[in-house]
């Protein structure tokens, strides 16, 4: 494990306590060197191993970006290399800011994950702590490059629709998409990428009260299997809405993030779509993530309006 003097914030310290001291490296605030060290460790043996480097998403987007680029260099040099066997743990993704309420904390993380998706085994976007656990178990069991984007540690634990318990059990296998809420005959759906999934659940309740039949699906990561998005979106002929905590672009840039991926599929299927995310990141309040989400329009109310307007 490779850390950047941020263990109390990234929670890497809890994992460090389970391994020997000579399997840990503290790189202080040298984020670029830390990612390259983790990549180097990944090439040190062909034996099974788990290499993890952790710091704030904002640093992965900037100073530590070369850690991602090394995956491209290695792939391009060897041809047969299917990605380095290393995990990049991005904490405080999106507007889920640290407790110092720094605004704009890693808002481009989804697009970074998509940029390097060709070199990854999986890109995880857990919606709560239990989903994060399943993601960690999955990445530990599989060879290759992994990116896991962790939001705030105080997100609510999602529950099953009938209230019988948590949405995910620790004994389950990770899955790319989880059905969260369903309504018989629904022709509209909400697709939530990661942390804002609970807002989609709140919107579902409001829409049900208004007699608007809607389903909710949670996208836990990418890539999805070939044809799966077509299969998932196809039944919702009245339209789909996506929500994510990250930059999704605007009319000057075109759609980005998960919104861009979903919009492409919806367009191909002739299905209307609307998208909730960060369109103008220039100014934001120095507040907690709920207040920052509200500023950016990432709210249950916005989802309700978008679904109703399809």
Q: What is the pLDDT of residue 103?
A: 43
Residue labelled with tokens 């792939």:
75
Highest-confidence segment of 108-112, 138-142, 213-217: 213-217
Work out the percent of the chain whose per-residue pLDDT is above 90.
51
Integer Cα distance of 20 and 50 in angstroms: 14
| CA-wise closest residue to 67 among 104, 94, 27, 40 | 40
- DSSP-assigned beta bridge partners for residue 243: 192, 276
Integer Cα distance of 104 and 293 in angstroms: 11
- DSSP-assigned beta bridge partners for residue 241: 190, 274
pLDDT tens profile 55-85: 777 777 777 677 777 777 766 555 445 557 8
pLDDT tens profile 11-30: 777 777 887 888 777 767 77
Token digits for 104?
Answer: 């704009």
Domains of the chain in sequence order: 2-150 (3.40.50.970), 177-308 (3.40.50.920)
Contacts of 74 (CB under 8 A, 6+ apart): 39, 43, 81, 83, 84
Q: What is the pLDDT of residue 170?
A: 92
Work out the percent of the chain whose per-residue pLDDT is above 70.
89
Question: What is the average pLDDT value for the chain, to the nearest integer?
Answer: 86
pLDDT tens profile 155-195: 899 999 999 999 999 999 999 999 999 999 999 999 999 99
Torsion sign (Cα): 95, 101, 104, 105: negative
Token digits for 56?
Answer: 């704030």
């Amino acid at each position: 494990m490779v850390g950047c003097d941020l263990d109390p914030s990234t929670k890497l310290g809890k994992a460090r306590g389970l391994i020997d001291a000579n399997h840990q490296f503290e790189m202080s605030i040298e984020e670029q060197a830390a990612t390259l060290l983790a990549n180097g460790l990944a090439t040190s043996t062909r034996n099974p191993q788990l290499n993890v480097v952790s710091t704030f998403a904002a640093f992965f987007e900037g100073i530590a970006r070369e850690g991602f680029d090394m995956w491209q260099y290695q792939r391009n040099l060897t041809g047969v290399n299917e990605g380095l066997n290393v995990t990049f743990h991005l904490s405080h993704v999106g507007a889920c800011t640290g407790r110092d309420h720094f605004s704009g904390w890693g808002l481009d993380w989804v697009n970074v994950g998509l940029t390097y998706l060709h070199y990854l085994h999986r890109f995880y976007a857990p919606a709560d702590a239990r989903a994060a656990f399943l993601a960690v178990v999955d990445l530990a069991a599989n060879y290759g490059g992994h990116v896991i984007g962790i939001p705030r540690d105080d997100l609510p634990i999602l529950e099953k629709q009938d209230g019988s318990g948590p949405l995910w059990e620790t004994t389950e296998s990770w899955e790319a998409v989880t059905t969260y809420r369903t309504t018989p005959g629904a022709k509209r759906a909400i697709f939530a990428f990661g942390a804002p999934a609970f807002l989609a659940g709140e919107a579902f309740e409001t829409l049900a009260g208004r007699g608007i039949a809607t389903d909710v699906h949670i996208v836990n990561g990418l890539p999805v299997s070939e044809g799966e998005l077509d299969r998932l979106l196809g039944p919702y002929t009245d339209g789909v809405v996506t929500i994510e905590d990250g930059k999704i672009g605007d009319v000057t840039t075109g759609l980005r993030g998960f919104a861009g991926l979903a919009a492409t599929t919806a367009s191909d299927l002739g299905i209307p779509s609307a998208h909730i995310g960060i369109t103008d990141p220039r100014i934001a309040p120095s507040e907690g993530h709920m207040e920052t989400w509200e500023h950016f329009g990432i709210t249950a109310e916005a989802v309700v309006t978008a679904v109703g307007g399809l």
